[in-house]
Structure 1
Amino acid sequence: MRTIKLGTSDLDVPVVAVGCMRINSLDRAAAERFVATSLEQGANFFDHADIYGKGTCEEIFADAVHMSPSVREGLILQSKCGIRPGQFDFSKEHILTSVDGILKRLNTDYLDILLLHRPDALVEPDEVAAAFDELEQAGKVRHFGVSNQTPNQIELLRKSVTQPLVANQLQLSITNATMITRGFNVNMENEQAVDRDGGILDYCRLHDITVQPWSPFQFGFFEGVFLDNPKFPELNKTIDEIAAKYDVSNTTIAIAWLLRHPAHMQPVTGTMNEQRLIDCCKAADVHLTREEWYGILLAAGNTLP
């Protein structure tokens, strides 16, 4: 699969990341097949979080991939921490304890990337920096990033954190694209001009932080999938026509739309269906034209000023 550099790091990663949030929905044999299919597609970047399945997803993955030192060499593992029941927690103690738990469940000595999952209102940047330094020096984490954070939240961390923040995982899809559409509704008196993220897309591009879109097929906040959904007839008609042109599925085109953006994003899939994962991976080889990209954007109900 085609690769990109993750942020400012020297790490080459596939342009499609495999999300493992739902791997606990598979039995052992199905999980083994799913992971094997991922690797066959060149999708060796697996995204986890300590809260997925209350930790069981990481355990199931390690078992499915038959984790060993030789297997580990061919994997790129990312996990997230910072969410606890009823609160977010970026304290040094919680970060260190979380990573130890993640490593134990994944049966590995190190993570390639650790992301802070959701912004903690009580964050002390110096504590985060101390945790990152200890994890890096111990060889437990090689690269660091964030998730769901605005430019100022990242800047606050960067006051103390010395390691580059290489990724920011954000909700983004064709139907949830305000971070894109706000960019050409500057100073307009309409809904699309509302700044909901502080210009995070441009910020990430300026600072070479890789955007990792999560829920790339969702509309709203987990309201459903827009593909083949009667709520989006014009969008699906447009996607299906373009899919027919490239002889791929509508799933492929939805991911290709994200990959066409010059921010060099790395979408995180969520499917546990092997064929849909294959279709997602095929997007790495589809380069939409400017007309096709804008056609999809407008078909989703967005307007140009």
Structure 2
Amino acid sequence: MVSQVFPLSTYFPTVSRIAYGCMGLGGGWDKDPITTKDISHAHSVIDAAMSYGINFFDHADIYRLGKAEQVFGEVLKQKPELRDSMIIQSKCGIRFKEANLPGRYDFSEKWIKHSVEGSLRRLNTEYLDILMLHRPDPLMQIHELAETLMTLQADGKVKHFAVSNMNQFQVEFLQKNLDTPIIANQIEMSLGKLDWLNDGVLVGSDGNNSVDFVSGTLEYCQTKHIQLQAWGCLAQGKYSEQGLNSECEHIRRTSKLVLELAQKHHATAEAVVLAFLMKHPSNIQPIIGTTNLERIKGATMALDFELTRDEWYSLFVSARGEALP
């Protein structure tokens, strides 16, 4: 059994090791109203996730143009008793293209407060357990941002704060101006997105300058007890059965290895891909987003076994497509 002790448990003792990402709820990426079918689907997904032990739900104000939060809120309206057994995280800071304006990021006081009020209204809740800053805003005014966040916390609208897609220097800069801890950092990590690992093993080696990851971020988060969360954790299904037919030899080879390990551990391919992340000593929290009920169940099988060192390295090297230096 994989250890259940990881950074978020400091703040939420019963938090699930795997999180559910709600971007797939609420219908299409359009302004069409949510339907009774959308609400029924959300009920099924939430019930399935919770029945398999997942109580952490990850949102963003932009998901399905707000409809993901809205449909989730409809479920809570019909089953208000669920709220006390959930941990709800939502993100803000991304603004879509509109009129003559491009897509952009906004950490201004006005926009963050507007976003939080919208999320609370759509989610039908009085508070967010965690508010996450979605992507770094180059025009961030640090003192304005810090004051805004502290006001939201003081008003009881947000319990804790986190960041997404930030490196160690950005996290540290924000933390030095906050009187409350940053408790999580959500970045893309998976068996198919390996720069978070290559950064460490390629130190002093050819190719290190091509790694798309800021050195020290993993170690900083571990040192400061900041929960690392992984979005894109299943690599878009690259290493399930479909990977066996990939044009890339190393993807075919890795997919075959994943399926062999799944059979060995009496689990699913999804569980093996998640187990790869969860083996890392930083205790990564994967965020799954499938709306297929059987795949939700299959993903949670990652909690039932732990990869050996040999199995982990076999997957790592195979997915890299080349030997370690």
Identify whether the pair has TM-score above 0.5, normalized to the shorter chain. Answer: yes
Equivalent positions of 1:78-227 (< 5 A) are 78-85=89-96, 86-191=103-208, 194=211, 196-218=213-235, 225-227=238-240
Q: Given the superposition, is the C-alpha separation of residues 110 and 98 from structure 1 closer, same or farther in structure 2, using an over 3 Å criterion?
A: same
Q: Choose the corresponding residue for 1:52, options 63, 77, 87.
A: 63
**Corresponding residue of 1:22:** 24
Mapped partners of 1:129, 1:71: distance in 2: 31
Q: Choose the corresponding residue for 2:259, options 237, 240, 262.
A: 240
**Corresponding residue of 2:11:** 10
Contact 2:25 2:71 in 1 (8 A): yes
Q: TM-score, normalised by structure 2?
A: 0.87
Unaligned runs of 5+ in 2: 28-36, 97-102
Mapped partners of 2:310, 2:272: distance in 1: 14
Q: CA deviation at 1:196?
A: 2.6
Unaligned runs of 5+ in 1: none
Contact 1:90 1:128 in 2 (8 A): yes
Mapped partners of 2:169, 2:287: distance in 1: 24
Contact 1:45 1:75 in 2 (8 A): yes
Q: TM-score, normalised by structure 1?
A: 0.93
Mapped partners of 1:52, 1:250: distance in 2: 27
Contact 1:143 1:165 in 2 (8 A): yes
Report the number of matched residues.
301
- Residue identity opposite 2:259 in structure 1: D
Q: Choose the corresponding residue for 2:314, options 295, 300, 305.
A: 295
1:35 equivalent to 2:46? Answer yes
1:263 equivalent to 2:264? Answer no
Q: CA deviation at 1:27?
A: 2.7
Mapped partners of 2:283, 2:255: distance in 1: 24
Q: Given the superposition, is the C-alpha separation of residues 169 and 32 from structure 1 closer, same or farther in structure 2, using an over 3 Å criterion?
A: same
Contact 2:6 2:283 in 1 (8 A): no
Q: CA deviation at 1:236?
A: 0.6
Q: CA deviation at 1:64?
A: 2.9
Mapped partners of 1:239, 1:185: distance in 2: 24
Q: Given the superposition, is the C-alpha separation of residues 67 and 201 from structure 1 closer, same or farther in structure 2, using an over 3 Å criterion?
A: farther
Counting aligned pairs with the same residue, the percent is: 37
